[in-house]
Amino acid sequence: MSDKKLILVVDDDPDLVESLSMKLESENFRVAKAYDGMEGWDEIKKERPALIILDVMMPRKDGYTLCNEIKNSEEYKGIVVVLLTAVADAINSTNYTHMGGKTTLADDFVPKPIDLDKLMEIVKDNLQ
Amino acid sequence: MNDGVLTSTDFLPQILVVDDEERIREGCQMVLSELNYKVDTAADGAQGLRMIKMRHYDIILLDLMMPMISGFDVLTKVRDLHPDTVVIVITGYATIEHSIEAMKKGAFDFIPKPFDPEQLRAVVAKAIKYTRALQDIADSRSRLRMVVNCLTDGVMITDDHKRIVLANHAFQHMIGHHGDSLIGHNICKCIADETLSQMIDQALSVPIETSLEITKELILNGADERILSSRCSPFRGRTGVNLGTITVLHDITALKKIDQMKSDFVSMVSHEIRSPMNSLLMQIKIILDGLAGDITDKQHEILERASGKILNLIDLVSELLDLARIESGLITNEKETIAMQELLAEQVTFHRAGAQGKNIEISLETNVDLPSILANRQGMDEVFTNLITNAIKYSPEGSTINVSTGVENGYLNVIIRDTGYGIPSEDLNRIFTRFYRVKDKQTREIHGTGLGLAIVKSIVEAHHGNIKVESEIGRGTAFTVILPLPELGNTDSME
C-alpha cells in the first residue's frame, strides 16, 4: 500500500475531483483532495504529494498563485505541478505566449476539456 | 470666397473724407455718393479723429497737409484704433517722399492733388476690393471658428513646429486644460501624455507625396480616466509644404466601458458553462472506462455520442467567446510585426498531422522576402487554423491543400486552396454568417459550430483586410485572405 504514490487534486468542482480521483485510484495512485488553493496548502503540509493536479480558476486562492508559491518554496519546489487550464485550447501555434505573457512555473499543463487518458500519460511521464 | 449666400458684395462701404479744403470734401462726396457709397466728411484732423472714435469707417481719404493735426498723426491714430480701415492719403503737392512715408505708416494708397473723378473712382474701387477681401477672410474665419468650437469632438491644429494654432473648447476640456489660452504653446508643454506629441512628429515626417492618417488611442488619467480615439494628419499648403497638423479627438470612454462589461459578462458566462460541461465529460468518461461498473456495448455507444455533443457545445462556447472578444476590438489592440511565411509554415506543420489521418497532403508555397505585416498574432493563428481545418474537414480522403502567398497593390494575399467537396454557389455569400453551415450528403456528419468563418471574417476585417472565396462543386474551394501591408511612414512597422 505504502509504495502507492500520493497525488493531490485541487479543483473547485467536487464532481471533477471525484471523477479524477476514481481514474487515478484505478491507476494505482492514492489521492488527496482539495477544493481551493488554501485547502491545497493544508493538504500539502499534511502529507507531501508526489504530484499535484491543479485547476487555475478557483475561489480564495487561484491555481497560478498556489503553483508559484509551491515552486518558490525551498521545501516543496520538488513537487510536480500539472495545471488544468481552459486557456490552452486557444493555443495552436507553438510560440503562443501562455496566458498573455503570464509566466507559470508549472511542470506541465493539460488543456480543458480534459482528455483523461492524456492526463494519465502526463502524470505517469512526470513521475518517472 | 463665394462660399456663402451673404457675401460682402452686398456690403456698402462707409467712407470718411478728411480734408481742410471744402472743394475737395464736396467733390469727393459728390463723386462717391453717385456710386451709392455712404460718405461723411471732416474739415480738420481733430474732427476727423472724433468721428473715427465714434464709428468704424471702411475707407478714409486723408489729406496729409492740414493745420493743427497733420494727416500723419491721424493716420497713426487710425492704425491704432481700426487696423483694418483702409487709408488713402491725398497729397497736396505730389511729393514722392510724403507718399512713401505715409505708405510706410500703413496707408493703402495715395492720390495726388489735383485729381479728376475718374482717378478718385479708380483708387476707391481698388480699396473697396481690398476691403471686401479682408471682410471675406474675417467672415470665413469667424464662421470656421464657430463651427470648430461647436463640435463635440476635440480639434487641435499645430504649425510645423508643434505650436498650437487652434484648439477648440472640446479639445481643451478633453485634455483637462482650464484657464490660459493654449495658442502659441508647444503641444509638449500642454499635455503630459507623450502619445499626441509623438503622433504629431510622425505626421510631420510623412513624405510630401503621401497622405496618411495616424490613429491611436489616448488614455488620459485625470480625475476620471478618459479614453480618446485620436486621429492626426499633416496638412499642406499650395506648394505641398507641410504647414502643420490637425488632430481630432473623439471620446470613446463610455464605449470602452460598455465593451469591458460585455466582455467580462461573456467570459463569466462562458466559464460558468464550460466548467460543468468539462466535469460532465469526465463523469461520462469514468463510466465509459468501466470504473463505475460494467456497461453494455449499447450504453457505451450512447455515452460516446453524448460526449461528442458535449465536446461540440464546449467548442461553441469557446468560439462565441472568441467572437465576442474580436468584436469588442480587443484583439487588434495588441499588434506586432509578424513574418507571415514563418507563421504559415508553423500552421502547415501543425495541421499536417491531422491531415495525414485523411491522407491529405498540405503544401506551402511562399516567398522568403515576403514583407512582414502588423497584426495580432493570436488572431492570425486563429484565421489560418480555421481555414486550414475547414479545408481538411471538407475534403475527401486523398485530396490536396495548397497554401500560397503574394503581394499586390500594398496588400498581402494568402490563398488556401483545397480540392475538396466545394461550396454550392447559392451558399457562397452566406458561409460567413454566424451559425450558417452547408449541410448536404457529404458534409452532414462533419461536426462544426458554424462560427469558424464568422470569426475569420471578423478578425480579418478588424485588421482592415478582406476575405474572398471562390468555389466549384466537386473541384474545390479557394479562400483568399487580403491583409494591408504597413503604410509608408509608419516607422515602427518597417523592416
Return the closest-CA partner of residue B90 out of B12, B33, B16: B16
Compare all CA atoms of chain B with the CA of A111 and give the residue at the minimum distance.
Answer: B278
Q: What's the grid cell of residue B213?
A: 492618417
Compare all CA atoms of chain B with the CA of A94 and give the residue at the minimum distance.
Answer: B346
Q: Is the distance from CB of B241 to CB of B209 less than 8 angstroms?
A: no
Task: For residue range B452-464, list pLDDT tens digits in order.
Answer: 888 898 888 888 8
How far apart are alpha carbons A79 and A126 in whole angstroms?
Answer: 10
Q: How many CA atoms lie within 13 A of B59 on its CB side?
A: 31
Q: Which of residues 335-394 of B touch A (CB under 8 A)?
A: 343, 346-347, 350, 377-378, 381-382, 385
How far apart are alpha carbons B494 and B46 in whole angstroms?
Answer: 71
Q: Can you give the CATH number for the domain in which A108 is found?
A: 3.40.50.2300
**Contact list, A87 vs chain B (CB under 8 Å):** none
Average pLDDT over residues B260-274: 76
Predicted pLDDT at B495 = 32
Q: Over chain B, what is the mean pLDDT?
A: 84
H or E segment to which residue A6 belongs: strand A6-10
In a domain, A67, yes or no: yes
How far apart are alpha carbons A52 and A55 in whole angstroms?
Answer: 10
Nearest to B279 among A13, A23, A93 (CB): A13
- Inter-chain CB proximity B382 and A92 less than 8 Å: yes
In angstroms, the separation between the Cα of residue A114 and the nearest Cα of chain B is 7
Q: Is the distance from CB of A83 to CB of A67 less than 8 angstroms?
A: yes
Distance, first Cα to last Cα, chain B: 47
Q: Is the pLDDT of residue A106 over 90?
A: no
In a domain, A25, yes or no: yes
Q: Which domain holds residue A18?
A: 6-126
In a domain, A109, yes or no: yes
Predicted pLDDT at B99 = 80
Confidence of residue B449 (pLDDT cuts 50, 70, 90): confident
How far apart are alpha carbons A31 and B162 in whole angstroms?
Answer: 68
Return the closest-CA partner of residue A56 out of A96, A121, A11, A93: A11
SS3 call for A77: coil
Inter-CA distances, B319 with A10, B266, B382, B388, B449, Å = 27, 11, 10, 16, 8
Q: Which of B263, B275, B280, B459 to mutate to test the interface with A (most CBs of A within 10 A)?
A: B275
B279 touches chain A (CB under 8 A): yes
Q: What's the grid cell of residue A8?
A: 493531490
In angstroms, the separation between the Cα of residue A64 and the nearest Cα of chain B is 17
Placement of cell 513624405 in the chain: B207
Whole-model pTM: value is 0.49
Confidence of residue B17 (pLDDT cuts 50, 70, 90): very high
Compare all CA atoms of chain B with the CA of A99 and give the residue at the minimum distance.
Answer: B378
Confidence of residue B11 (pLDDT cuts 50, 70, 90): low
H or E segment to which residue A88 belongs: none
- Farthest CA pair distance, chain A: 43
Nearest to A89 among B271, B318, B377 (CB): B318
How far apart are alpha carbons B113 and B62 in whole angstroms?
Answer: 12
Task: For residue range B98-152, list pLDDT tens digits in order.
Answer: 888 888 888 898 888 888 889 999 999 999 999 888 888 989 988 988 898 899 9
| Highest mean pLDDT, choosing among A48-57, A95-104, A107-116 | A48-57
Return the closest-CA partner of residue A52 out of A10, A12, A4, A85: A10
Confidence of residue B35 (pLDDT cuts 50, 70, 90): confident
A13 touches chain B (CB under 8 A): yes
A38 touches chain B (CB under 8 A): no
Q: Which of residues 102-121 of A touch B (CB under 8 A)?
A: 112-114, 116
Q: Is the pLDDT of residue B395 over 70?
A: yes
In angstroms, the separation between the Cα of residue A40 and the nearest Cα of chain B is 19
SS3 call for A10: strand
Return the closest-CA partner of residue B370 out of B334, B417, B411: B411
Nearest to A93 among B278, B310, B346 (CB): B346
Q: Which of A112, A114, A118 to mutate to test the interface with B (most CBs of B within 10 A)?
A: A112
Q: Is the distance from CB of B344 to CB of B388 less than 8 angstroms?
A: no
In angstroms, the separation between the Cα of residue A73 and the nearest Cα of chain B is 30
In a domain, A1, yes or no: no
B271 touches chain A (CB under 8 A): yes
**β-strand pairing of A30-34 with A80-85:** unpaired
Inter-CA distances, B147 with B68, B136, B154, B155, B359, Å = 48, 16, 12, 11, 67
Average pLDDT over residues B64-89: 86
Average pLDDT over residues B193-205: 86
Residue B82 backbone zone (phi > 0: left; psi -120 to 50: alpha; other: beta): beta
Q: Is the pLDDT of residue A5 over 70?
A: yes
pLDDT > 70: percent of chain B: 91
Q: How many CB pairs under 8 A join A and B?
A: 69
Confidence of residue A128 (pLDDT cuts 50, 70, 90): confident
How far apart are alpha carbons A50 and A81 in whole angstroms?
Answer: 9
Instruction: Please give the tally of structural domains in chain A.
Output: 1
Nearest to B286 among A22, A57, A92 (CB): A22
Inter-CA distances, B51 with B18, B84, B238, B387, Å = 10, 16, 42, 83
| Highest mean pLDDT, choosing among B73-87, B197-211, B426-440 | B73-87
- Inter-chain CB proximity B289 and A114 less than 8 Å: no
In a domain, A39, yes or no: yes
Q: Is the peptide bond before B114 cis (omega within 30 degrees of 0)?
A: yes
**Contact list, A86 vs chain B (CB under 8 Å):** 271, 274, 278
B118 touches chain A (CB under 8 A): no
How far apart are alpha carbons B136 and B7 in whole angstroms?
Answer: 7
Confidence of residue A101 (pLDDT cuts 50, 70, 90): very low
Q: What's the grid cell of residue B72?
A: 500723419
In a domain, A29, yes or no: yes
B274 touches chain A (CB under 8 A): yes
